[in-house]
Amino acid sequence: MKVNRRLVILVGSVVLLDTLFYAALAPLLPSLSSEFGLNKGGAGLLVGIYPIGTFLGALPAGWATARYGPRPTVLVSLVVMAAAALVFAFGNTIELLYLGRLLQGLAGAASWTAGLAWLAQGTSVERRGEALGFGIGAGVVGAQLGPVLGSVAHLIGRGPAFAGTAVAAAVIAAFAVRTPEPHVESGTTNASPISLLRNGRYLFALMIFVIPSMAFGVIEVLVPLRLNELGSSAELIGLIFFLAGTVEAIVSPVVGRLSDSVGVLRIVRIGMFLAAVLLVSLYFPTTVLVLAFALVLCSAAIGMLWVPAGKLVSLAAERLDVDQGWAFAFQNSTWSLSIGAGATLGGALAAFGGDLLAYGAAGALCAVVGLVMFGRRPAAAVSSDP
């Protein structure tokens, strides 16, 4: 079965728009912190409130996807996404900016849950890793373009820069209306979603999301602030995150193909240990160039982990006859809690004991998980590895 290109383009466009808005904050964070008097804890909250919204919206999005189908859920997500963009574009208080980020998190929960479920339902098992790789890769492209949008917003103002994303949401919605949903045979998704939380394979997949998500939350708070301390402009910060995202976007589909052929364990083990080392390395650079290089490498290592985990999530749900919407809803809940905790706790740890404490804690978690995975072969991945 071939990959449905139209569906890949649609889902990719939806998640790209979501991550575009989400990642636009990085180059704006120093100026917003100055404008609204935010310390590292407050900056961490501005980053972390998006995944809080994702957590709040994930399970309702899973229910809506299972009850009404992925297409209506995607359309609703695009409406909320447009509203969030307008709030953030024209908000003149920190409370409104928090609200805009929260709404965007709610929209992101629905777009990723329904979008990935739509993609999984429309792709055979043999090509699912590849399809998810392209979908997640598109999200990474949005993450790399987000800092560019943030840099543009820094130059011309938040209003005109972010209002454009509302127009983009309308265009994508028109495309979604014309895209048919895949046929799902009756009786294949009758199991309770709670069965996922009792399944070792599924819980293993969620574990893969937790640690790198927390690490990414730490990065999103500390790296932009450190680059600013080293003399980087908002535009240069945006460019650096753009380059890091480019590498991660290239890694995702490649890893997706590898997960279809060699299995997930080899990929995840290497990614965990690389992330552990590279996270700590982010503390030491004293020049913009070296820090940028370290960020690119660290982003690539973290990028190795998303697609294998997503494939395991989808396969576990399929084996248990649970709707894919629920599978990705629980995944998004896990991601949102983890990245929110990483951003908030990372900022708090850095404020309390310095950046090395925050990076060291994130790196240690990656190393521990990597060691556990080397020590035994988890039942969660046995059937997916050759």
Give the confidence band of 186 by pLDDT, cuts at 50, 70, 90.
very low
Query: What is the domain extent for residue 54?
Result: 5-180+191-382
Question: Does pTM surpass 0.85?
Answer: no
Mean pLDDT over 290-318 rounds to 87
Amino acid 187: pLDDT: 42
Q: E strands, the chain, where?
A: none
* DSSP code per residue over 12-34: HHHHHHHHHHHHTHHHHHHHHHH
Residue 186 lies in a domain: no
Of the candidate ranges 155-159, 256-260, 274-278, 337-341, the one whose mean pLDDT is the lowest: 256-260
Domain count within the chain: 1
pLDDT digits over 74-107, tens only? 999 999 999 999 999 888 888 899 999 999 999 9
- Residue with the bigger pLDDT between 163 and 373: it is 163
**For 36-46, what is each residue's pLDDT tens digit?**
888 877 887 88
Q: Of the ranges 55-59, 267-271, 375-379, which one carries the lowest mean pLDDT score?
A: 375-379
Q: In this structure, is residue 259 part of a structural domain? A: yes
Nearest to 311 by CA among 123, 149, 56: 123
Domain membership flag for residue 52? yes
Cβ proximity of 281 and 298 under 8 Å: yes
Domain assignment present for residue 302? The answer is: yes
Task: Among 202-211, 262-271, 272-281, 344-353, name the one with the lowest average pLDDT.
Answer: 262-271
pLDDT band at 383 (very low <50, low <70, confident <90, very high): very low
Residue 246 falls within a domain, yes or no?
Answer: yes
CATH code of 294's domain: 1.20.1250.20
Instruction: Flag whether pLDDT at 184 surpasses 60.
Output: no
Q: How far is Cα 336 from Cα 341, in angstroms, rounded to an integer?
A: 8
Residue 185 maps to a domain: no
